[in-house]
């Protein structure tokens, strides 16, 4: 069995309410099952329900053992950790891995500091589970049991990793939170700071970095990609915020011969009605032009690979 279940797909902040019933209001959390191995990607608010499910479903078969991979340490991706029930269950083993900025504290301090009295009634030291932390870079990990995890830096205001998980000849990739690389240098010859060589190098670097990201998810069975904005919203005021547009993600996934694309990290202001409309719009738009299967992520959906 190789499956991915969505427990949270919202960007920035949980948004419960009548407008987010279909696609969900919890922030990022994925449950990945590779045979008997349990992998969790991100500890957004969605991890609370996942934790309760794991305790009900897995504990009867023996102590809980999980690998938690964090894409980055922004709050919407770690906020659910204190309510992840398995951390309170004796016998549980959790290996937490994720990238940490050079200037920041350690991963343990960043995640664990949420469990201090000022924020939460239980301190990290009081947890029953055995938890280890490992800061992660661009790398390849063999988790054993045939599970391989590859990582790639994405483009976001803090160090952020995309994950590629391979198992039994199938693969899926997360590419959130991510914004396409752009040339940050002036390219307009009339700009007083214009330098032809730098402009050219910048164009080349941005193009090549984008190609590297695409080759990271080239041909995968499932790509879960950041689509927080529309191209119009992105170009109007969101450049540099570290998120992608629907248009960019769809075109990139098509170029990379991705089989199935899940639109993910929904903007907190996006209602169910709007997301349904956007999903349908883009499905129709690529119909007949691409073999890509495309859906907007819904909380609770499971994808079997």
Binding footprint of another protein on the chain (CB under 8 A): 101-103, 105-106, 109, 137-139, 152-153, 155, 157, 181-186, 193, 195, 198, 201-202, 205-206, 208-209, 212
- Burial tier of 83 (Cβ tally within 10 Å: 0-12, 13-18, 19+): middle
Decide whether 105 or 145 has the Cβ nearer to another protein.
105
Decide whether 181 or 264 has the Cβ nearer to another protein.
181
Decide whether 16 or 240 has the Cβ nearer to another protein.
240
How far apart are CB 142 and another protein at their closest, in Å?
A: 16
How far apart are CB 152 and another protein at their closest, in Å?
A: 8
d(CA 83, CA 86): 9
Decide whether 168 or 201 has the Cβ nearer to another protein.
201
How far apart are CB 267 and another protein at their closest, in Å?
A: 23
How far apart are CB 72 and another protein at their closest, in Å?
A: 13
Decide whether 19 or 108 has the Cβ nearer to another protein.
108
How far apart are CB 158 and another protein at their closest, in Å?
A: 9
Decide whether 13 or 205 has the Cβ nearer to another protein.
205
How far apart are CB 195 and another protein at their closest, in Å?
A: 7
How many CB atoms are closer than 10 A to CB 303? 18
Decide whether 53 or 185 has the Cβ nearer to another protein.
185
How far apart are CB 182 and another protein at their closest, in Å?
A: 8
SS3 per-residue string spanning 162-183: EEEEEECCEEEEEECCCCCCCC
């Amino acid at each position: 069995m190789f499956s991915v279940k969505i427990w949270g797909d919202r960007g920035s902040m949980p948004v419960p309410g009548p407008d987010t019933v279909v696609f969900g209001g919890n922030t990022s959390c994925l449950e990945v099952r590779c045979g008997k191995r349990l992998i969790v990607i991100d500890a957004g608010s969605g991890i609370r329900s996942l934790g309760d499910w794991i305790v009900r479903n897995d504990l009867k078969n023996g102590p809980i053992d999980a690998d938690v991979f964090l894409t980055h340490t922004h709050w919407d991706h770690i906020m659910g950790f204190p309510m992840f029930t398995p951390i309170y269950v004796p016998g549980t083993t959790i290996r937490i891995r994720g990238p940490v900025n050079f200037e920041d504290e350690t991963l343990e301090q960043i995640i664990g500091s949420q469990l201090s009295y000022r924020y939460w009634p239980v301190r990290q030291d009081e947890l029953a589970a055995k938890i280890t932390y490992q800061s992660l870079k661009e790398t390849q990990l063999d988790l054993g049991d045939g599970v391989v995890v590859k990582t790639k830096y994405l483009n976001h205001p803090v160090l952020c990793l995309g994950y590629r998980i391979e198992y039994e000849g199938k693969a899926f990739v997360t590419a959130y939170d991510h914004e396409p690389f752009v040339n940050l240098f002036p390219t307009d010859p009339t700009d007083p700071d214009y330098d032809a060589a730098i402009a050219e190098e910048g164009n080349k670097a941005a193009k090549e970095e984008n190609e590297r990201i695409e080759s990271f998810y080239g041909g995968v069975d499932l790509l879960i990609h950041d689509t927080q904005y529309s191209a119009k919203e992105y170009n109007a005021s969101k450049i540099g915020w570290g998120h992608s547009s629907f248009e960019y993600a769809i075109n990139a996934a098509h170029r990379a011969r991705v089989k199935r694309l899940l639109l993910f990290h929904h903007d907190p202001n996006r209602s169910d009605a709007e997301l349904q409309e956007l999903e349908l719009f883009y499905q129709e738009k690529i119909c007949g032009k691409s073999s890509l299967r495309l859906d907007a992520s819904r909380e609770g959906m499971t994808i079997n690979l």
